């Protein structure tokens, strides 16, 4: 059973809690009602495998995404070869195991409700 919400909360991407910058992109994170939501901006020429993979050091993106596409176009290729083109107005649900890149000359902007909490963070050292 889901816990009922007991108080209102509002946040704005104008004042994010955290910003992560990587080649040709950034993620702005806000926490609202205990949930972390990310707005990602990917510039033309951004590709996960060249912009984020060197930071996280995984074969493919291991962040699951549930996202609303605000602008631009992203091509997504799952590890099994399945391809999706995501455009403004689309809602996409992507499991772990994919690459993605910006198509065209317009930045791709998405709001992700699930997969940005650890996105573009380097691996943590173990003791």
In the chain the domains, ranked by start, together with CATH numbers, are: 18-112 (2.60.120.10)
Residue (of 11, 9, 96, 8) closest to 58 by Cα position: 96
By DSSP bridging, strand 18-22 and strand 35-42 are unpaired
DSSP bridge partners of 37: 30
Residue with tokens 């495998």, as numbered in its chain: 49
What's the distance, CA 75 to chain centroid? 14
User: Which parts of the chain have pLDDT scores under 50?
Assistant: 125-127
What is the per-residue pLDDT for 2?
63
Question: Which tokens in the block code for residue 59?
Answer: 């074969």
What is the per-residue pLDDT for 65?
95
**Gyration radius of the chain over CA positions:** 15
């Amino acid at each position: 059973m889901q816990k009922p919400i007991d108080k209102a909360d509002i946040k704005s991407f104008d004042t994010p809690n955290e910003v992560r910058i990587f080649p040709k992109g950034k993620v702005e994170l806000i926490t609202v009602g205990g949930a972390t939501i990310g707005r990602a901006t990917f510039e033309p020429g951004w590709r996960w495998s060249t912009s984020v993979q060197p930071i996280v050091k995984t074969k493919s993106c291991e962040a699951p995404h549930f996202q609303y596409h605000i602008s631009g176009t992203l091509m997504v290729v799952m590890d099994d070869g399945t391809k999706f083109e995501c455009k403004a107005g689309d809602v996409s649900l992507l499991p772990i195991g994919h690459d993605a890149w910006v198509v065209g000359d317009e930045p791709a902007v998405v709001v992700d409700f699930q997969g940005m909490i650890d996105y573009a963070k380097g691996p943590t050292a173990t003791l």
